[in-house]
Amino acid sequence: MIELKDLSYVRLGASNLEEAGSFATKCLGLQVGEQSGKALYLRSDDRAHTLCYFEGDPTDQTVGFEVEDESKLNAAAATLDQLGHPVHAGTPTECALRKVKAFIGFKDPTGNQIELAVRPERSGKRYFASRDAGITGFSHVGLSTTNPARDEQFWTQVCNARVSDRIGDIALMRVNAIHHTIALAPGRSPGIHHVNHQVESNDDVLRSYYHLSGQRVPIVFGPGRHPTSGARFLYFKGPDGMVFEYSVGVDEIEDEATHRPRQFGFEPSSLCMWGSRSAGVLPPNS
Ligand SMILES: O=C(O)c1cccc(O)c1O
Ligand SMILES: [Fe+2]
């Protein structure tokens, strides 16, 4: 079994790197860790980066997860290979671009580009952004799925994710105590559905609602509250249509051994208990 320890980074192709950088710093509230040539490294916590925008195709999107060490990485490569997922071992140049000691890349059954990494770089400097969005960290990703049951099985049976809750057939899955690190989202093609950062308080969610509205950033869902994780949230659209989510107050699963996933209906009240309706984002295109 592959054991994912944590979410490590997302890599997003940007059609206009300057625009992406401006959104990330002035709207989202990330800190530029480093700008090197055609890549922009952005920080949200004490790591060297958690988001990398690179000049390229916006459909080129990758999620990186941390695994324990190189021996676990090698075992993961063997497992994936056995299951018929072609595995690419990161070259030294590719490792340097990700600021990790080693990584492997593969595709999940939908075709999402996934990487497993060891020893992602930390920074001696604390995260300090020029826009105070109240970000406390990088928390989860929504991943497109063309077959929710098949992909839930892959993530739980191969990668040791555990289902915390389901909305219809859509699984919210954890890899540690946090309610979910991976949320599956039905879609027609692979890709990242949304990128979540946690913020400190309800005030931060609402402050951002007004700030982003003023910057003419499209708000696509919320402010609202998820009955599943209990989090208060706001979703908005960034460069090349990528959806970002702020949330605060995501539950932790207290007892790993006894937690049973709850089943929520596939209906709007399962996504927001305050009555907010999404603009085609959740469920996608509805
Ligand atoms: O936080 C959640 O519970 C949640 C539920 C549905 C969709 C999401 O993106 C979520 O973050
Ligand atoms: Fe989310």
pLDDT at res. 3? 96
Whether ipTM > 0.95 holds is yes
pTM of the model: 0.97
- 227 and 189 co-located in one domain: yes
Residues of the domain holding 38:
6-118
127 domain-assigned: no
- 107 and 172 co-located in one domain: no
Query: From the CB of 231, is ligand 1 less than 6 Å away?
Result: yes
Percent of the chain with pLDDT over 70: 99
How far, in whole angstroms, is CA 105 from its chain's centroid? 16
- 265 and 143 co-located in one domain: yes
The CA dihedral of 64, 94, 238, 141, to the nearest 10 degrees, is: 0
Q: Which of 141, 143, 145, 172 to mutate to test the pocket of ligand 1 (most atoms within 8 A of CB)?
A: 172
**Alpha-carbon span 232 to 60, nearest angstrom:** 30
In the predicted model, is pLDDT for residue 41 greater than 80? yes
Q: Is the dihedral of CA 270, 283, 207, 14 positive or negative?
A: positive
Q: Which atom of ligand 1 is nearest to the CA of 227?
A: 3
- 222 and 252 co-located in one domain: yes
Mean pLDDT of the chain, nearest integer: 96
**Over the stretch 155-209, which tens digit does the pLDDT of each residue have?**
999 999 999 999 999 999 999 999 999 999 999 999 999 999 999 999 999 999 9
Q: Which ligand is nearest to the CA of 195?
A: 2
- Tally of domains in the chain: 2
**Over the stretch 130-162, which tens digit does the pLDDT of each residue have?**
999 999 999 999 999 999 999 999 999 999 999
Q: CATH code at 93?
A: 3.10.180.10
Q: Which atom of ligand 1 is nearest to the CA of 282?
A: 7
pLDDT at res. 281? 84
278 domain-assigned: no
